[in-house]
Amino acid sequence: MENKYFYLSDFKPKFDESKNAFYFSLGKVQKFLTDGAYGIWEMSKSKIKNMVANFKNNITGYDIIGYEAEDHLKYPRENLVKLSDLIFDETKNELIGEVIPLNEKAKEKLLSGVHQITSPEFIENYQDKRTGKRVGVTLTGFLFTSKTYQPDLTPSYALSDNIETKLQFLKNLTPQEAGKMELEKLLSEKEADNKKLLSEKQTLEKNLSDKEIENKTLSEKNESLSAELKTLSDKIQAQESAAYAEKVEKLLSDNSKGESVKILAAEIEPLKKLLSDPNAFESVKAMIDARQSIKLSDVTKGEGAGATKKDLLAIAKEQQPEKFKK
């Protein structure tokens, strides 16, 4: 006979009036302590998905009925519902059953809250009676109860239906053995928690590493752009300086060459010094423009020499003496 397992799950149903259907948990992804013969048994995602697929393919060849019992070992048992669908909620890692009550009495009983526990039954590697093939984990039934046959069972505890092994195990279970099993259960839960935390840590480390690489790349781009900006700024400044120097040279040249001039040769260098400040350009140009022209021939002959008293250099020294301090 194939070894059947059953485990406990809190019965907290939701009722859909429009479908006349109850929805509740038939277990979730977790590890179970068994009756000692198989150690720790794991209900994985793949096993739950296998249950769902086998149900939808009607592998058992019969309706899956949910019944009630005072506890797992007592009869009679009254049928309450028929399983109409199995759903794997991957967001909660939970197997959800959809059941239709067989009559109004069954509906009222489930709505009353008299049953607080459901116990799904499954065969680990079910043999298809039609093909003879093994098709993996298969749900074969479930019951509703408010009392378990062993005190202090939790929803993460599973037992096989090998009656001899089970009764012998229950009979001979000492407080030390029970304590050991509880510690093994706790260890299993802690290992699962640790695995989850490790996974979260690795994810965070990867995200941090990705951010560090991203920050480094952005920093390098910023340095490159800053260097390009400085080069461009220096180039613009050089061009502006060259243009201004050319502007100063033209102003002095236009007014110091030819027959009639406004600037004498001796004045050119002091004016260049004054015009080294671009802010002085307009005022100096205005002074040069306002000055009377001097004919070089008159200066050479000694005539009109008095006009040099009004030369631009003198005016500049009067108005901006700080520019000419040594």
pLDDT tens, per residue, the chain with 326 residues: 455 666 777 778 899 999 999 999 888 887 765 555 555 667 889 999 999 999 999 999 999 999 888 765 566 678 999 999 999 999 988 899 999 999 999 999 999 988 888 888 888 889 998 999 999 999 998 888 876 555 444 444 444 444 444 444 444 445 565 556 566 666 767 887 888 888 888 888 888 888 888 888 888 888 888 888 898 888 999 898 899 989 989 988 888 887 788 887 778 888 888 888 888 889 888 888 888 887 766 654 544 444 444 455 555 555 556 655 65
Asked if 146 and 175 touch (Cβ cutoff 8 Å), the reply is no
Q: Are residues 261 and 114 in the same domain?
A: no
Residue 169 in any domain: the answer is no
Residue 81 in any domain: the answer is yes
Q: What sign results for the dihedral spanned by CA atoms 140, 143, 149, 152?
A: positive
Which range marks the domain in which residue 196 is found?
174-247
Q: How many other C-beta atoms lie within 10 A of the C-beta of residue 166?
A: 19
Residue 105 in any domain: the answer is yes
Residue 167 in any domain: the answer is no
Q: Are residues 14 and 131 in the same domain?
A: yes
d(CA 53, CA 69): 28
Asked if 145 and 115 touch (Cβ cutoff 8 Å), the reply is yes
Rounded alpha-carbon distances, angstroms, from residue 4 to 33, 59, 141, 170, 286: 15, 16, 10, 17, 110
Among candidates 193, 169, 144, 158, which has minimal Cα distance to 47? 158
Q: Are residues 202 and 318 in the same domain?
A: no
User: Which among 162, 197, 213 is the end of a domain?
Assistant: 162
d(CA 30, CA 44): 7
Q: Are residues 288 and 218 in the same domain?
A: no
Please tell me whether the overall predicted TM-score, pTM, comes out greater than 0.75 for this model. Answer: no
d(CA 264, CA 292): 12
d(CA 315, CA 276): 17
Asked if 296 and 259 touch (Cβ cutoff 8 Å), the reply is yes
**Given the structure tokens 């994810």, which residue do they identify?**
203
Q: Are residues 126 and 16 in the same domain?
A: yes
Instruction: Report how many domains make up the chain.
Output: 3
